[in-house]
C-alpha cells in the first residue's frame, strides 16, 4: 500500500488521495456542498429526481452524490427556471454535491433526427419535436444555470466499433472540450473533460493524453458501457486510467454492475454513475450478493425472508420477499421505492467496502473473495 502526499488543490475543489493498493485508490473529493469519499457510486436523477425515492431516502441509503441530466432539464422545466428558483440544490432539495452531464449523450442517443457539425448539434426534442441547438458554450451556460458542483464538457458519444465515426467524434470532443474550458466561468463548479475513442486503443490513448493536457479538475471516461464487449470495456478503462493524471479524480460514466464496479476500481477509477439499480427496481429486480432476483417469481409468494438476508436497509429490515412480490405484482409504487432503496444500499456498501479494503492494504484479497462469489 502506498500513501501519496497530501491534498491536491484543484481551485475550490481538492482531491485528497488517502491510500492506494495496486491501481485502486481511496480518496476524498471536496466540493462546495460537501466531501465525497471515493470510490463512490452516484444514482441518476435524470429530471432532478432519482426515480421512486425522496432526497431523505437517498440520505438514508448512503448516497453522497446525485447526477442530473442537462438535456432533460433544458427541455423541461428549462435551465432559466431552475436558476431563478435557486439552482438544482434548492429546486430538488438535495443539499449534497450534484453532478450534471453535458447533454451530449442524450442528444445523440435520443434524437431520432439530429444534425452534427463541428460547431455543435441541432436536434429535435423528444417531448414535442421542437428544434434546438447545443454548442459547447451553450452546454456551459445551461450547466452554470443548473448550478451543479461537477459539470461535464460537451462531447460526442459514437458507436464503439466504427473507426471513422470515432475518429471524427474524438476530434470534435477535443475541440469542444477546449471551447468548454474557455467558456467556463464559475469557480464553484469543477469542469471535467471526457475521454472518447470507442474500442480503439490508439484513439483512447490519444484522447486520454489530450484531455489530461487540458489540466481540468477531473476526467471522465465516456463512450463505454454502450454495447462493447466486457473485455473491451475493461481494457479501455485500464488503458485510459494509466494515462490520466493520478492526482485527479477519474469518473467512469454509465457503469453500475457490481462486478464492473469492482474491476474498474481495481484499474484506478474513483467515481461511477448508472441508471441500473433504479431501473432494475422499477422492473421488480433486486441486486443481491448472490446475484439478481426477479421478485415476481411465484417461489417468493409465501417467502418470509427479506430480499437479502443480513442486509440492514429499510426494505430488508422491515419487509418480506412475499410482501415485496405482492407490491410488484400489484404494480404498487412502493415496491419500486423499497427495491430502489435496497439496490442503492447494496452498491453504496460495496464501494464503502472497497474503500476500507484499500485503506487497509487488503484490496487484492478482498477482490479475490468478491470474484469467487460474484464472477464477471
Residues 101, 145, 149, 232: which is the catalytic one?
101
CA distance 322 to 56: 26
Whole-angstrom CA distances from 231 to 161, 225, 250, 256 are 14, 11, 20, 16
Maximum alpha-carbon separation in the chain? 61
Residues 21, 188, 273, 303: which is the catalytic one?
273
232 is catalytic: no
Is residue 320 within 8 A of residue 346, CB to CB? The reply is no
CA distance 351 to 64: 12
Contacts of 126 (CB under 8 A, 6+ apart): 75, 110, 111
Contacts of 1 (CB under 8 A, 6+ apart): 19, 20, 21, 358, 360, 361
273 is catalytic: yes
Grid cell, residue 39, equals 470510490
Question: Which residue, among 180, 132, 171, has the nearest Cα to 153 in the 3D structure?
Answer: 180
Question: Which residue, among 162, 167, 234, has the nearest Cα to 203 in the 3D structure?
Answer: 167
Catalytic positions are 101, 273
Amino acid at each position: 500500500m502506498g500513501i501519496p502526499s497530501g491534498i491536491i488543490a484543484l481551485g475550490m475543489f481538492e482531491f485528497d488521495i488517502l491510500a492506494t493498493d495496486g491501481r485502486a485508490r481511496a480518496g476524498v473529493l471536496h466540493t462546495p456542498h460537501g466531501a465525497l469519499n471515493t470510490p463512490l457510486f452516484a444514482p441518476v436523477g435524470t429530471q432532478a429526481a432519482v426515480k421512486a425515492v425522496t432526497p431523505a431516502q437517498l440520505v438514508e441509503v448512503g448516497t453522497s452524490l446525485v447526477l442530473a441530466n442537462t438535456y432533460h432539464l433544458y427541455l423541461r422545466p428549462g435551465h432559466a427556471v431552475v436558476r431563478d428558483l435557486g439552482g438544482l440544490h434548492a429546486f430538488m432539495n438535495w443539499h449534497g454535491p450534484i453532478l450534471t452531464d453535458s447533454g451530449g449523450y442524450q442528444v445523440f442517443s435520443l434524437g431520432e433526427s439530429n444534425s452534427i457539425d463541428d460547431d455543435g448539434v441541432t436536434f429535435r426534442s423528444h417531448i414535442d419535436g421542437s428544434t434546438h441547438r447545443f454548442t459547447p458554450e451553450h452546454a456551459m451556460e445551461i450547466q452554470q444555470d443548473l448550478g451543479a458542483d461537477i459539470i461535464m464538457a460537451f462531447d460526442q458519444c459514437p458507436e464503439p466499433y466504427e473507426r471513422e465515426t470515432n475518429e471524427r467524434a474524438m476530434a470534435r470532443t477535443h475541440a469542444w472540450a477546449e471551447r468548454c474550458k474557455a467558456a467556463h466561468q464559475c469557480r464553484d463548479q469543477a469542469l471535467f473533460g471526457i475521454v472518447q475513442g470507442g474500442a480503439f486503443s490508439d484513439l483512447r490513448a490519444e484522447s486520454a493524453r489530450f484531455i489530461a493536457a487540458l489540466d481540468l479538475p477531473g476526467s471522465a471516461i465516456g463512450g463505454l458501457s454502450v454495447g462493447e464487449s466486457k473485455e473491451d470495456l475493461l481494457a479501455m478503462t485500464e488503458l485510459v486510467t494509466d494515462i490520466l493524471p493520478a492526482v485527479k479524480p477519474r469518473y467512469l460514466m454509465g457503469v453500475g454492475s457490481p462486478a464492473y464496479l469492482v474491476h474498474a476500481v481495481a484499474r484506478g477509477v474513483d467515481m461511477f454513475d448508472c441508471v441500473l439499480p433504479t431501473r432494475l427496481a422499477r422492473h421488480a429486480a433486486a441486486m443481491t450478493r448472490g446475484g439478481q432476483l426477479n421478485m415476481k417469481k411465484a417461489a417468493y409468494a409465501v417467502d418470509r425472508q427479506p430480499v437479502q438476508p443480513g442486509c440492514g436497509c429499510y426494505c430488508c429490515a422491515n419487509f418480506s420477499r412475499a410482501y415485496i412480490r405482492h407490491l410488484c405484482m400489484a404494480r404498487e409504487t412502493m415496491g419500486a421505492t423499497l427495491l430502489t432503496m435496497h439496490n442503492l444500499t447494496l452498491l453504496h456498501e460495496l464501494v464503502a467496502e472497497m474503500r476500507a479494503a484499500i485503506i487497509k492494504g487488503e484490496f487484492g484479497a478482498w477482490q479475490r473473495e468478491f470474484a469467487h462469489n460474484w464472477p464477471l
